[in-house]
Amino acid sequence: MKIARVQASSNVSLGLVDEVTQMVDLVGGEWASHPNPVLAVIQQGVSASQLQAAVVARVPIAQVKFLAPLSAFLRNPFAVGKNYHDHALEFDKSGFNATTSGASAIPQYPQIFTKATLTLNGPTDPIRFSPQHTQSVDYEGEIGVVIGKTCRNVHKADAMNHVWGFVATNDVTARDLQKNHAQWFMGKSLDGFCPLGPWMTSRDEAPTDMRMQTWVNGEQRQDAHISQLIFDIPTLIETMSAAFTLLPGDLILTGTSVGVGVGFNPPKFLRQGDKVRVAISGLGELNNPVEEI
């Protein structure tokens, strides 16, 4: 199933999305007033048939506004650095890599970090930043993994059984802050720096080899498949769950591909009026304008 938070007229509802018919089923009952309904569906293991039984209306996709699927993050979203081979090389050559370089440009182990909870942003909401604070805001289209079951010390062979599904994300980054502070949390954690949505797709409905593409102002910058990850999803879950417990609703951003702004010469950082589009097969699109404040 594809689940979303949508605004129809003046009401915010839990929605079931049908991409084929371009319709959204609005779910009523207890879900109509739940403060974080998509997270609750994941945590409680609610099925599509249970939600379908509570549908109160059916409207065209064009008549709703998609909000961030989660109204709040459960906790900091997790993310993976340099998880596509060519991106690891472009980042190492950019001059903004303050962690490893040269022979170690390709990581030997997954590089895990987190983004602050207030990075959460909607699929069409502005990416905002102050040019007095950062001059090098960059996009990173990524496939996000949504954990569905509490897990600890999971083996790779069983890892996908703990995945609820997937979501399109943009790991927006202030490269100068990332470099100056010699770690990634600061540059990744500005408010609104994690656009998410427009819906979450359950594992059984997601394409096997999802394709992620990014455009800025109509110019295609990124094009990659999830099969190209250096560390695949089972490896990431095995690695992370060996260190700490993963919870239903946790989000893992799996890494971005070659083609980010910092990889160009000169770099192509985001500016006032830019429009960033991230499209992932089966997961929909993010379309975020850029605003300097």
Q: Is the pLDDT of residue 131 over 70?
A: yes
Residue 100: its pLDDT value, please?
Answer: 58
Residue 86: its pLDDT value, please?
Answer: 73
Question: Residue 165 CB: number of other CB atoms within 10 A?
Answer: 23
Q: Is the pLDDT of residue 244 over 70?
A: yes
In angstroms, the CA 77 to CA 289 distance is 22
Q: For the domain made up of 78-292, give the CATH fold.
A: Fumarylacetoacetate hydrolase; domain 2 (3.90.850)
Residue 91: its pLDDT value, please?
Answer: 62
Residue where the block lists tokens 């199933």: 1
pLDDT in tens, 148-162: 999 999 999 999 999
In angstroms, the CA 156 to CA 232 distance is 10
pLDDT in tens, 215-231: 999 999 999 999 999 99
Residue 97: its pLDDT value, please?
Answer: 66
Residue 87: its pLDDT value, please?
Answer: 66
In angstroms, the CA 33 to CA 11 distance is 10
In angstroms, the CA 212 to CA 228 distance is 11
Residue 179: its pLDDT value, please?
Answer: 87
pLDDT in tens, 176-206: 999 888 888 999 999 999 999 999 999 999 9
Q: Which three-class secondary structure string do you get for 9-25?
A: CCEEEEEEEECCCCEEE
Helix boundaries (H) for the chain: 37-44, 48-52, 85-93, 156-159, 175-180, 185-188, 233-243
Mean per-residue pLDDT over the chain, rounded: 94
This prediction has a pTM of 0.94
Contact 158, 237 (CB under 8 A): no
Distances (CA, A) of 186 to 6, 175, 182, 220, 223: 31, 10, 9, 27, 27
Residue 266: its pLDDT value, please?
Answer: 95
pLDDT band of residue 106 (cuts 50, 70, 90) is confident
Domain ranges of the chain: 2-66, 78-292
Residue 142: its pLDDT value, please?
Answer: 98
Contact 276, 139 (CB under 8 A): yes
Instruction: Please state the rounded mean pLDDT for residues 51-60.
Output: 96
Instruction: Please state the rounded mean pLDDT for residues 252-267.
Output: 95
pLDDT band of residue 90 (cuts 50, 70, 90) is low
Q: Residue 46 class from Cβ within 10 Å (0-12 exposed, 13-18 middle, 19+ buried)?
A: middle
Residue 153: its pLDDT value, please?
Answer: 98
For the chain, percent of residues with pLDDT exceeding 90: 86
